[in-house]
Structure 1
């Protein structure tokens, strides 16, 4: 039964994506002259993504702490990463941030086109010059007042266990003097683990925005990184 439901779910996504993208393209054309940060387009993309979560009969979605996130002003958002659907549920933040995502996703037809249209940032792992270019682009976005969202674990956790955090996101926050918002994503690893596309069980996924961290309160990047990871880990333990 779950295999059939999974097949139908992914089929609906494949069939409907081109129509949603047509709407995104129209919004981009209409708003480009006055919306340089592409806020309207991102909010449309958020509604598009959340639609796919809400229509799944196995999933419920709840977001808490959204009011902590500013509508204006730069910030670094960091979240744990256990499932492909983390991307969908994090769009429920409905705030105008920019994704930092692995470059392979930008090559996916329709989805990748929309990511480029939104001005999201591709990440090529392990290639020094391209990583530096990505960091520079994130810095430009922060200077323009756009928050950026990264997965500091670097990749999805195979078993849902919180992995070690890399320094990149926190180095950005320190360099540009912007707050870090830790975000705990609950339940997605049980719904759709890292390997495979078969939906596993009925879950209530929860996106929990935690209190921000100020870089000035920590002696260095490592301390800021560890504090953010500790907050997310504590939230996940309480929510399990």
Structure 2
């Protein structure tokens, strides 16, 4: 039964994404002259992504601590990564951040086109040149007042445990003196396996925005990184 439902669900996404993309194009065209940060387009994209979470009868999502996130001003948002649907549920934060995402997603028809319209940041894992370009673009976005959303583990966990964090997000926060918001994503690993697209079971996912970390409270990016990882790890252990 889950296999049949999964096929129907993914087919529904494939069929409706082009319709949503037409709406994204219209939002982009209308707001282009005055919305340089593409906030309106991102919020439209957030509604598009969250729609697929809320219409799925197997999934329930609750967001805690959303009011901690700023509407204005640069920040670095970091979240754990257990499932493909983490991206969908994090859009449900409805805050104007820019995604940093692997290059392969930008090549997906419709989804990737929308990511480019939004000005999200691609990166190729393992490519030093790509990482440098990503960091340069992130520097520009933070300087312009745009928050960033990053998965500091770099890839999805294979066993549910929290992987070591990479330095990039925390180097950026230190360099620009902007707060880091740790975000714990609960329950998504049970919804969809790391390999395959068959939905596994009914889940109650939860996004928990944790208290921000101020770079000036830490001696270096390493200490900031470990504090963020400890904050997320503690929240996950208490769920």
Q: TM-score range by the shorter chain?
A: over 0.9
Distance 1:10 1:121 in 2: 25
How many aligned positions are there? 239
Task: Report deviation, 1:18.
Answer: 0.2
Distance 1:130 1:48 in 2: 28
Task: Report deviation, 1:134.
Answer: 0.4
1:115-143: CA deviation from partner (whole Å, max 9, x where unpaired): 00000000111111221110010010000
1:159–1:193: 8 Å Cα contact kept in structure 2?
no
In the alignment, is residue 225 of structure 1 matched against residue 219 of structure 2? Answer: no
**Pairing 1:54-73 to 2, within 5 Å after superposition:** 54-73=54-73
Distance 1:127 1:191 in 2: 31
Q: In the alignment, what sits opposite 1:43? A: 43
Distance 2:186 2:40 in 1: 27
SS of alignment partner, residue 153 of structure 1: coil
**Pairing 1:158-237 to 2, within 5 Å after superposition:** 158-237=158-237
State the Cα RMSD in Å: 0.5
Distance 1:233 1:95 in 2: 23
Task: Report deviation, 1:159.
Answer: 1.6
In the alignment, is residue 82 of structure 1 matched against residue 82 of structure 2? Answer: yes
SS of alignment partner, residue 93 of structure 1: coil
Q: In the alignment, what sits opposite 1:52? A: 52
SS of alignment partner, residue 184 of structure 1: strand
Distance 1:77 1:192 in 2: 23
Q: In the alignment, what sits opposite 2:31? A: 31
Distance 2:168 2:26 in 1: 34
1:136-157: CA deviation from partner (whole Å, max 9, x where unpaired): 1001000000000000000000
Task: Report deviation, 1:180.
Answer: 0.2
Normalised TM-score (structure 2): 0.99
Distance 1:146 1:26 in 2: 22
5+ residue gaps, structure 2, are none
1:27-59: CA deviation from partner (whole Å, max 9, x where unpaired): 000000000000000000000000000111100
Distance 1:55 1:5 in 2: 13
